[in-house]
Amino acid sequence: MTNDPSALQRAEQALRAAGVDALLLGPGADLRYLTGYLALPLERLTLLVVRADGDHHLVVPTLERPRAEAAGLPEELRLHDVGETGDPYAVAARCLDGAVGRLGAGDQLWSMFLLGLQQAMPGASWTRASAVMRELRMRKTPDEVDALRRAGQAIDRVHAQVPGLLRAGRSEAEVGRDIAEAILAEGHSEVDFVIVGSGPNGASPHHETADRVLADGDGVVIDIGGTLDAYHSDCTRNYVLGDPPEGYTQAHAALQVAQDAACNAVRPGVTASSVDAAARQVLTEAGYGEFFVHRTGHGIGLDGHEEPYIVAGNELVLEPGMAFSIEPGVYVPGRYGMRIEDIVVVTEYGGERLNHGERAAVPV
Binding site for Zn ion (CB under 5 A): 223, 234, 236, 325, 341
| Cβ burial, residue 4 (10 Å; 0-12/13-18/19+) | exposed
| Cβ burial, residue 123 (10 Å; 0-12/13-18/19+) | exposed
Question: Min. distance of Cβ 184 from Zn ion in angstroms?
Answer: 18
Neighbours of 111 (CB within 10 A): 8
Distant-in-sequence, close-in-space partners of 253: CB < 8 Å, separation ≥ 6: none
Assess contact for 179 and 162: CB atoms under 8 A.
Answer: yes
Q: Please, which residue, 28 or 226, has the CB nearer to Zn ion?
A: 226
Give the distance from CA 266 to its chain's centroid.
19
Amino acid present at 206: H
Assess contact for 329 and 294: CB atoms under 8 A.
Answer: yes
**In degrees rounded to 5, what are phi and psi of residue 208?**
-100, -95
Question: Min. distance of Cβ 133 from Zn ion in angstroms?
Answer: 21
Q: Please, which residue, 8 or 300, has the CB nearer to Zn ion?
A: 300
Positive or negative: CA dihedral 140, 142, 144, 148: positive
Q: Please, which residue, 106 or 328, has the CB nearer to Zn ion?
A: 328
Give the distance from CA 52 to its chain's centroid.
27
Q: Please, which residue, 80 or 207, has the CB nearer to Zn ion?
A: 207
Q: Please, which residue, 156 or 223, has the CB nearer to Zn ion?
A: 223
Question: What is the spatial distance between Cα 353 and Cα 344, in angstroms, rounded to a whole number?
Answer: 4
Question: Min. distance of Cβ 188 from Zn ion in angstroms?
Answer: 14
Question: Min. distance of Cβ 117 from Zn ion in angstroms?
Answer: 32
Q: Please, which residue, 104 or 329, has the CB nearer to Zn ion?
A: 329
Question: Min. distance of Cβ 225 from Zn ion in angstroms?
Answer: 6
Question: Min. distance of Cβ 307 from Zn ion in angstroms?
Answer: 14
